[in-house]
Amino acid sequence: MTEQTGAEGAGLFDGVFSRGGPGTGSRAWLRAMLDTEAALARALERAGLAPPGAGAAVTEAAATVPFDPGALGRRAALSGNPVPALVADLRKAVPQDAADTVHRGATSQDIIDTAAMLLARDALGALAGDLAAAADGCVALAAAHRDTMMIGRTLLQQAVPVTFGLVAAGWLTGLDEAADAVARVRAARLAVQFGGAAGTLASLGADGPAVAGLLAQELGLALPVLPWHTDRSRVIDVAAACAAAAAALSKIARDVTLLAQSEVGEVREGGGGSGAGERRGGSSAMPHKQNPVAAIAILGCTRRVPGLVATLVAAAEQEHQRAAGAWHAEWEPFADLLRVTGSAAAWGAELTGGLVVDPARMRANLDATRGLPLAERVAGLLVPALGREQAHDLVARASAHAGAVGVTLREALLGVPELAGWLDGAGVTSAQIDEALDPAGYLGSARVFTDAALDAHTRRQK
């Protein structure tokens, strides 16, 4: 996993929010815009609309001239976006006979939208890789703990027994489905933007569609049916894929933060610090702590995703042929969304690959429930004799008594004369109660579901 900072310069919070994938900051935007301008020059030359060598000249200048994103950004205030300033500087940097080739037929939105697609392609590729690595970690956890029992929890309360293998299998399925969404968008929804002033390519006459096709070839992007200046569904599709990935990752991270609580202690993060003498998870005030840093970082990233997605969706309402403000509102949220989702995935790969599971603590916590989570199974023994409603009420009374006086459900059922009398009347023996209170016998299809998730993941790899 690579750091996103690189040429952008290390930021104070980049270790948390820019952990994985390629950059999406100013220099990454600039590089994608220059790549687009260079590809357009090559496409124009291939179409016979630029002199021989013009494409190579623009490509060389785009690759070698040290354009300053800060200076371009300041000049963007004159036009509302940085493309006019970039085009002016690029024209000055190429031989005179190639200057007219720069940006020919294009409008600023063509360059920025196509650059956004290039950023998305790289970012979604890295995201897919980290989702796959996180899934690999879940595969190992699910397989290793297929039979590791633990208490299930619903509405944050103890429910019925489950296995940790099933928990990890659920994580795996979420990651696999999110990865499928990312792959679909990356393969089919990233398209070149080339429509000129108002989506007609009028300045190129009859050659416009041919140039658009050649530009798509040069960049390896899809060729859309027509320019999509005010059809922002492609941006929304990228956002939705990121949201799906964030949802899968945040589910894992939230479970880990809860299971790693001191009072629960069923899992803990592995891994160490980033340098000699450093320890992952330490506190600035409390020397004893080992915080689940990866899970916390994932949640810090994914908590930002809904707001960024909402901004992009709100900006999708765009008027006439070119939007006044809504398009501009997309640029930074789009890049931020790719960045924080990619960072969450990089953290996720580290989290699942190094998670330490404590089966003994899981069993101890399960035993500490005093059999109450098996009340449903006990009630099932009484249904034939008492009916479902009366059986439920009887076991509920036993559970309430057990909780009130601090005894096990077995002790409440067999030790309270009134309750024991109902059991005798229903023909239920103490041996049957003991069998019903064995959590190993009430795991339902946990193993089957775990195996199904593992099998589905294996099929995806083929």
pLDDT, tens digit (0-9, with 9 covering 90-100), for 136-166? 999 999 999 999 999 999 999 999 999 999 9
The pLDDT of residue 4 is: 47
| Residue partners of 393: CB distance under 8 A and separation at least 6 | none
Residue boundaries of the structural domains of the chain: 6-363, 372-436
- What residue has token string 């994985």? 20
pLDDT, tens digit (0-9, with 9 covering 90-100), for 224-283? 999 999 999 999 999 999 999 999 999 999 999 999 999 999 999 986 554 444 555 554
User: Which listed residue (27, 254, 322, 447) is catalytic?
Assistant: 322
- Considering only CA atoms, give the Rg of the chain: 30
Q: Is the CATH number of domain 6-363 3.40.50.720?
A: no
User: Which listed residue (79, 203, 283, 445) is catalytic?
Assistant: 283
d(CA 191, CA 120): 11
How would you label 294-333 residue by residue, b for 16+ Cβ within 10 Å and e otherwise?
A: bbbbbbbbbebbeebbebbeebbebeeebbeebbeebbeb
Q: Tell me the sheet residues that pair with 149.
A: 163
d(CA 201, CA 196): 5
Whether 322 is catalytic is yes
Whether the Cβ atoms of residue 149 and residue 358 lie closer than 8 Å to each other: no
d(CA 175, CA 165): 15
pLDDT, tens digit (0-9, with 9 covering 90-100), for 170-216? 999 999 999 999 999 999 999 999 999 999 999 999 999 999 999 99
Whether 283 is catalytic is yes
pLDDT, tens digit (0-9, with 9 covering 90-100), for 20-32? 788 899 999 999 9
Whether the Cβ atoms of residue 34 and residue 62 lie closer than 8 Å to each other: yes
Q: Count the neighbouring beta carbons within 10 Å of the beta carbon of residue 445.
A: 10
Whether the Cβ atoms of residue 296 and residue 351 lie closer than 8 Å to each other: no
The pLDDT of residue 144 is: 98
The pLDDT of residue 5 is: 43
The two three-digit tokens of residue 431, written as one number: 């041996």
CA 370 to chain centre: 38
| Predicted TM-score of the model (pTM) | 0.92
Q: Is the pLDDT of residue 418 over 90?
A: no
Mean pLDDT of the chain: 93
Q: Count the neighbouring beta carbons within 10 Å of the beta carbon of residue 158.
A: 15
d(CA 46, CA 446): 60
The pLDDT of residue 420 is: 87
Q: Is the pLDDT of residue 2 over 50?
A: no
The pLDDT of residue 426 is: 86
The three-class DSSP label of residue 159 is strand
Whether the Cβ atoms of residue 263 and residue 275 lie closer than 8 Å to each other: no
pLDDT, tens digit (0-9, with 9 covering 90-100), for 286-309? 444 579 999 999 999 999 999 999
Give kind and range of the element (H or E) at residue 60.
Answer: helix 54-64
- pLDDT class for 3, splitting at 50, 70, 90? very low
The two three-digit tokens of residue 337, written as one number: 């969304």
The two three-digit tokens of residue 370, written as one number: 């005093």
